[in-house]
Amino acid sequence: MALVIPVILCGGSGTRLWPLSRAGFPKQFLVLSGDGSSQSLFQQAVERVNSLENSETMLGNTLVVTNDEHRFLVLDQLRELQKVSATLILEPTGRNTAPALSMAAFCANEIANEQDPILVITPADQTIQNKEAFANALRDCIQTVESTTNAIAILGITPTAPETGYGYIQRTGDKDQNNAFKVNRFVEKPDGKTAQGYIADGNYLWNSGMFVLRASTWLAALKELRADIYGASQKAWLARSEDSSAGSSFIRPGKAEFENIPSESIDYAVIEKCPESQFPIKMVELDAGWNDLGAWDAVWQVGQQDQDGNVTSGDTLLANSKNSLVHASSRLVSAVGIDNLVVIETADAVLVVDRSNSQDVKKIVAQLKTQGREEKNLHRKVSRPWGWYDSVDEGERFKVKRIQVKPGASLSLQMHHHRAEHWIVVKGTAEITNGDQVITLTENQSTYIPQGQTHRLANPGQGPLEIIEVQSGSYLGEDDIVRFEDTYGRN
């Protein structure tokens, strides 16, 4: 029985889906598929690959390679899934997908005790409409890898249009007993005329970025084709550390060593060099309603369109409008007489863009970065491992936050150099450390935390704790926190 280990590559920032997707809460954690599912793209990816287990396939723990800053988002979303066990590999910085897969391959080898597991690798930010067709295609890939030495199997997407935003795979010959074709070559994102030629040819498919191979095959191919990445990745893995927080374990590659790994994608580092090599590339065709949701136009395409071609979400009202995507997060959004537009509203930002230009949203994100604006990184409502906070108002020398703390959770023991805080309990029970005192407050009770005072907020109850926090002082930035103790291992 084959040992198959799912690998979820959960990096990336999804800048073209701003303002919903931001560095602190990227698109893979959003619910965007448009099929009525309440699951995020990441959760859907995890469940899809974990549906592969059958009498011929034994699934190991899912490996999730993600950024250290997103570890608690991953954990929160994994807890909502049933019967999924996962190991988190935390990247200290983004170095693209080749180093990420290398960490997973080293880890899988150790977990498997020299069984040479088969890795099923998928990005965390894609959507698939036909899950059964997806599972069948992956099983064909697994059989291909089992039956062919050093084989790498890739899913090629049946093209539906001459897209210029995807790479293409050229197949050759007839499919074999495992429904796999030989791959002749990979080609980069083409111009419109070239893409039209690919569609007319019939032997070019979109590159999905989903692969199946043995851990040993990836490491051997990387060592031969990009020895620099292999060597640096091995050093980072050997320098790893392991720790835990809130009952979950994390594997952390060596920080300095990981930062020295050349940043390269799986395709550039290895896959595109493999045709006609000792690492044969096979492709299984997938026609299952695939979309990588790379821009707002793609979200419109997979959404539930009304009779006028509009896709709406949240509190929206439209009149005389067609072929548009309108998303409301925090208030009523209305539109009259619009056509082919994307309108995205969040609590702190509004985006309006022609659907045909939705790829250019990344230019707005670049401007936000240049200007040092916080809207690039965080929403007004910010998730934390203990709950969330929402900055509802701000002015000169004051800020007002709504804070919710999960049952049994607590913030760090901390202090602030530049601000004082007033706390009012509006729901639940609060245990508050204020200097040398520990007090309990319930609804409609309040307390004051002087500037420079060591303090902590905790929820000892069985339900959520909600407070209103009023900050006052000369500086109210989030970096004015000195932590003394923290349940979640933050500095």
Q: Each residue of 357-391: pLDDT tens digit? A: 999 999 999 999 999 999 999 999 999 999 999 99
Q: Residues 253, 178: one domain?
A: yes
Does residue 359 sit within a domain?
A: yes
> What pLDDT was estimated at residue 113?
78
Straight-line distance from the first to the last Cα atom of the chain, in angstroms, rounded to the nearest whole number:
44
Which of 237, 258, 291 terminates a domain? The answer is: 291
| Residue range 434-463, pLDDT digits in tens | 999 999 999 999 999 999 999 999 999 999
- As a whole-number percent, the residues of the chain with pLDDT over 90 amount to 86
> Which DSSP helix (H) or strand (E) runs through 224?
helix 215-225
Does residue 373 sit within a domain?
A: no
Q: Reply yes or no on whether the pLDDT at 197 is more than 70.
A: yes
Q: Residues 395, 362: one domain?
A: no
| Residue range 265-287, pLDDT digits in tens | 999 999 999 998 899 999 999 99
Q: Reply yes or no on whether the pLDDT at 35 is more than 80.
A: no
Domain count, the chain: 3
Q: Reply yes or no on whether the pLDDT at 96 is more than 90.
A: yes
Q: Residues 110, 194: one domain?
A: yes
What average pLDDT does the structure give for the chain? 94
| Residue range 234-256, pLDDT digits in tens | 999 999 999 876 667 799 999 99
Q: Residues 359, 308: one domain?
A: yes
Does residue 490 sit within a domain?
A: no
Does residue 374 sit within a domain?
A: no
What is the pairing mode between strands 62-67 and 2-10?
A: parallel
Q: Reply yes or no on whether the pLDDT at 490 is more than 80.
A: no
Q: Residues 396, 350: one domain?
A: no
Q: Residues 309, 170: one domain?
A: no
What's the per-residue H, E or C state across 85-143? CEEEEEECCCCCHHHHHHHHHHHHHHHCCCCCCEEEEEECCCEECCHHHHHHHHHHHHH
Give 39's pLDDT tier (boundaries 50, 70, 90). Answer: very high
> What pLDDT was estimated at residue 36?
61
Q: Residues 227, 339: one domain?
A: no
Closest by alpha carbon to 267, among 185, 349, 345, 384?
185
Q: Residues 347, 393: one domain?
A: no
Does residue 222 sit within a domain?
A: yes
Tokens 């954690």, residue located: 29
In CATH, what number is assigned to the domain containing residue 117? 3.90.550.10
How far is the C-alpha of 298 from the C-alpha of 305, rounded, in Å?
13
Give 38's pLDDT tier (boundaries 50, 70, 90). Answer: confident
Does residue 491 sit within a domain?
A: no
| Residue range 62-89, pLDDT digits in tens | 999 999 999 999 999 998 987 888 999 9
Query: 3-state DSSP call for residue 249?
Result: strand
How far is the C-alpha of 170 from the C-alpha of 276, rounded, in Å?
13
Which of 291, 314, 342 terminates a domain? The answer is: 291
Which of 291, 315, 345 terminates a domain? The answer is: 291
Are residues 377 and 345 in contact, defined by beta-carbon separation less than 8 angstroms? no
> What pLDDT was estimated at residue 341?
98
Give 14's pLDDT tier (boundaries 50, 70, 90). Answer: confident
Would you tell me how many other CB atoms lie within 10 Å of the CB of residue 104?
A: 24
Q: Residues 255, 116: one domain?
A: yes
AA identity, residue 190: P
> What pLDDT was estimated at residue 247?
62
Give 54's pLDDT tier (boundaries 50, 70, 90). Answer: confident
Q: Residues 29, 110: one domain?
A: yes
- As a whole-number percent, the residues of the chain with pLDDT over 70 amount to 98
Q: Is 485 exposed, middle or buried (0-12, 13-18, 19+ CB in 10 A)?
A: exposed
Q: Reply yes or no on whether the pLDDT at 1 is more than 80.
A: no
How far is the C-alpha of 131 from the C-alpha of 377, rounded, in Å?
33
| Token duo for residue 236 | 């980072």
Does residue 296 sit within a domain?
A: no
Q: Residues 285, 396: one domain?
A: no
How far is the C-alpha of 253 from the C-alpha of 259, rounded, in Å?
10
Tokens 């203990």, residue located: 386
How far is the C-alpha of 184 from the C-alpha of 413, rounded, in Å?
59
How far is the C-alpha of 45 from the C-alpha of 59, rounded, in Å?
15
> What pLDDT was estimated at residue 34?
59
pTM of the model: 0.92
In CATH, what number is assigned to the domain containing residue 462? 2.60.120.10
| Residue range 316-361, pLDDT digits in tens | 999 999 999 999 999 999 999 999 999 999 999 999 999 999 999 9
| Residue range 100-122, pLDDT digits in tens | 999 999 999 998 877 899 999 99
Does residue 297 sit within a domain?
A: no
Q: Residues 19, 138: one domain?
A: yes
Domain of residue 339 covers 304-367
